[in-house]
Amino acid sequence: MESSTLLHPSTRFILGDCLILLDAIENKTVDMIYLDPPYDSGRDYVLSADSSLGFGDKWTGDEYRAFIDQVVQKCVQKLKPSGTLFFHISADKMFVPESILRTHFPLVQPIFWKKCRSKNNVKTKLGATIDIIFKCNLSKTFVFNVVSQAKDETYLKNSFKNADERGHYSLGHIVTEPSKKGYMYEFEHGGKTFAPKTGWRIKREELAALAADGRLHMPKSAKGNLYKKIYLAENPGKPCTDLWDDIHSLAQGKEERTYPTAKPVALLERMIRIATNEGATVLDPMCGSGTTGIATLAVGGNRTCVLMDKNPDTVELLNERFMSS
């Protein structure tokens, strides 16, 4: 049985099997898809012993491969050429999904989410701390926004030790490293002439602009190099890499777990910020507790979200979450 519910003016939930529901979505209209399917773990997931919230994850033979392939095929049809599909899977179950994704997407990049710290209760195997999120694109013209990760506290403490009237700053290299050769020219600054043997990383006019803006750090020794000042206040984080170790799972975070396999809102917010612009449409075909929708609302920017799930027990949960959001 299928039914549609408007959880929020920008968020719609459709109850039913995504293999059927996806056919009703117009082709090439979705900017981002988050796919967090069953993992073929051989387990039954429940929120608690007396809860109906959950799902079975037991498959036989080639059922799982066929299912994932069907879902991915249908998602590809709905995605814009500039869109992105994020496929979430545990590291130990990544092989089958990755092999399927690479048949449908020319561009597949794994993101390594370190969801938790080392585990002390594992006796017979290595502790599982990593999930894989495959970032999949149909063309090189995909939407991509640079998103910052928070700097490591040890890095902040040790790197921004210098200070001037603008504030604390770290030192950025503008002289080429010994194994390379850069722009060769002399540059006068602070009454000294600098002509590094390996050359400069930037052109003369760029270096002159830094000098005019007071952004060059003078060396203390006569043989020292010039450095660029990188101010702490202007540099809130480092560009996001393919290792996400700054967002913890619900087990080690402060969010309440409302679904057995729920993910933190911050994780979905990062994906949405990276892969979408204002006015984008986000789709989650197996939404569980609807975290993708909550994250879309949090990011804002007139984005809309379509959620799907075949578990009728999630309807009440979704209504409760969006009423309080």
pLDDT for residue 51: 64
- Mean pLDDT across the stretch 307-325? 90
What is 3-147+240-323's CATH number, 3.40.50.2300, 3.30.450.20, 3.40.50.150, 3.30.230.30? 3.40.50.150
189-228 core/surface letters (b: 16 or more CB in 10 A; e: else): eeeeebebeeebbbeeeebeebeeeebbbeeeeeeebbbb
**What are the structural domain ranges in the chain?**
3-147+240-323, 153-234
Task: Scan for tokens 């092999």, then name that residue.
Answer: 99
| pLDDT at residue 1 tops 60 | no
- DSSP-derived letter for residue 39 is -
CA distance 258 to 282: 21
pLDDT, tens digit, for every residue of 131-170? 999 999 999 999 999 998 877 777 777 889 999 999 999 9
d(CA 191, CA 286) in angstroms, rounded, equals: 65
Give the per-residue pLDDT at 119: 67
92: Cβ contacts below 8 Å, ≥ 6 apart = 128
The pLDDT value recorded for residue 224 is: 92
Q: What tens digit of pLDDT does each residue of 184-212 get?
A: 999 999 999 999 999 999 999 999 999 99
Give percent of the chain above pLDDT 70. Answer: 95
Q: Give buried/exposed letters for 83-117 (b at 16+ CB in 10 A, else e).
A: bbbbbbbeeebbebbbebbeebbeebebbbbebbe
What are the pLDDT digits (tens) for 241-278?
999 999 988 765 567 777 778 899 999 999 999 999 99
Of 66-80, 152-166, 219-233, 245-259, give the range with the top mean pLDDT. 66-80
Read off φ and ψ for residue 310, nearest 5 degrees: -95, -5
Q: Is 2 helix (H, G, I), strand (E, B) or coil?
A: coil
SS3 of 187-237: EEECCEEECCCCCECCCHHHHHHHHHCCCEECCCCCCCCCEEEEEHHHCCE
DSSP-assigned letter for residue 168: E
